[in-house]
């Protein structure tokens, strides 16, 4: 398993989207972390810009993870209800759905 990688700029974001592997985790200081598909429409440039560039990651950040299991382990992240990252890659016990 790979360690989560924090995404610090648009180039990173674009690179991961093009590679189309793994998932994004968006953390937020006021809400639980959410796992998204890398090519989901949930990943918006404006939101990324606000959180990472303008707010300087003080209220949350974007991470790339290799798997849902990593997202669950490292961030206690929940699956996005909109883009629905796959369930079948990980044992159901790692989620409290």
CA dist., res. 35 & res. 75, Å (int)? 9
Whether 62 and 14 have beta carbons less than 8 Å apart is answered as no
Count of Cβ atoms closer than 10 Å to residue 6 Cβ = 13
57 binds Zn ion per the rule CB under 5 A: no
17 binds Zn ion per the rule CB under 5 A: no
51 binds Zn ion per the rule CB under 5 A: no
Residue 84: CB minimum distance to Zn ion, A:
7
Please pick, from the candidates 12, 40, 74, 76, the single residue that binds Zn ion as defined by CB under 5 A.
40
80 binds Zn ion per the rule CB under 5 A: yes
Count of Cβ atoms closer than 10 Å to residue 83 Cβ = 18
Residue 81: CB minimum distance to Zn ion, A:
8
């Amino acid at each position: 398993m790979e360690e989560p990688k924090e995404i610090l700029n648009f180039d990173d974001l674009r690179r991961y989207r093009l590679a189309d592997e793994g998932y994004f985790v968006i953390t937020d200081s006021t809400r639980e972390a959410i796992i998204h598909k890398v090519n989901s429409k949930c990943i918006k440039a404006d939101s990324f810009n606000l959180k990472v560039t303008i707010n300087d990651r003080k209220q949350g950040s974007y991470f790339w993870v290799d798997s849902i299991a990593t997202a669950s382990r490292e961030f206690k992240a929940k699956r996005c209800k909109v883009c629905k990252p796959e369930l079948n890659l990980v044992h159901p016990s790692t989620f409290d759905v």
